[in-house]
C-alpha cells in the first residue's frame, strides 16, 4: 500500500518546493518515479524543475515520440503515453531502469507499477491533478 508523504496545492512558482521534497525522499542511487496526471497537467514541467534544482542546464522536453530522454547521464525521462508496457520492454527500455540514476516515467500505469514491484524496483509516484489554475501534487512511496 502506498504512503502519502506530500500533498499540496501549489502554483507554478511552487514546483521547486515539490522537487526539493522529492530530492529529500530519494535515498537510493537508482530510483523510479512514476509521473501520473492528465494531458498538460505538468509532468514534463516537473522534470524541468527537478533538473533546475540539480543545476542541470539541459531543458527537459517531452519524450512522447523518442520514448526516452537522458539528462546529464543520471536523469532518465520516459514517456509511455503512446507505448504499451510490452513495447517498452521490447525496446529494451525496462532494462534501462537498472542503470544508476533517477528514472522519471510519465504515464506509468497500474500494470507498469505492478511490474516494477514484481522485478524488485522501488518506486515513488507523483500524482499531478489540475486544481483551478494550480496543481495538486501528491507524492506516494510505493
Going along the chain from its start, the domains and CATH numbers come out as: 3-141 (3.40.50.300)
CB 96 within 8 A of CB 121: no
Residues, the chain, total? Answer: 142
pLDDT in tens, 22-71: 999 987 788 999 999 999 899 999 999 999 999 999 999 888 778 899 99
Is residue 119 predicted with pLDDT exceeding 80?
yes
**pTM surpassing 0.85?**
yes
Amino acid at each position: 500500500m502506498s504512503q502519502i508523504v506530500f500533498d499540496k496545492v501549489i502554483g507554478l512558482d511552487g514546483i521547486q518546493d515539490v522537487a526539493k521534497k522529492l530530492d529529500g525522499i530519494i535515498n537510493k542511487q537508482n530510483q523510479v518515479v512514476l509521473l501520473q496526471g492528465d494531458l498538460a497537467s505538468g509532468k514534463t514541467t516537473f522534470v524541468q524543475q527537478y533538473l533546475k534544482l540539480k543545476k542541470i542546464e539541459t531543458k527537459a522536453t517531452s519524450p512522447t515520440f523518442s520514448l526516452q530522454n537522458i539528462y546529464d547521464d543520471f536523469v532518465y525521462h520516459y514517456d509511455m503515453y503512446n507505448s504499451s508496457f510490452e513495447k517498452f520492454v521490447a525496446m529494451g527500455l525496462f532494462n534501462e531502469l537498472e542503470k544508476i540514476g533517477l528514472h522519471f516515467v510519465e504515464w506509468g500505469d497500474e500494470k507498469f507499477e505492478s511490474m516494477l514491484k514484481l522485478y524488485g524496483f522501488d518506486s515513488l509516484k507523483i500524482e499531478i491533478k489540475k486544481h483551478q489554475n494550480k496543481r495538486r501534487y501528491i507524492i506516494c512511496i510505493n
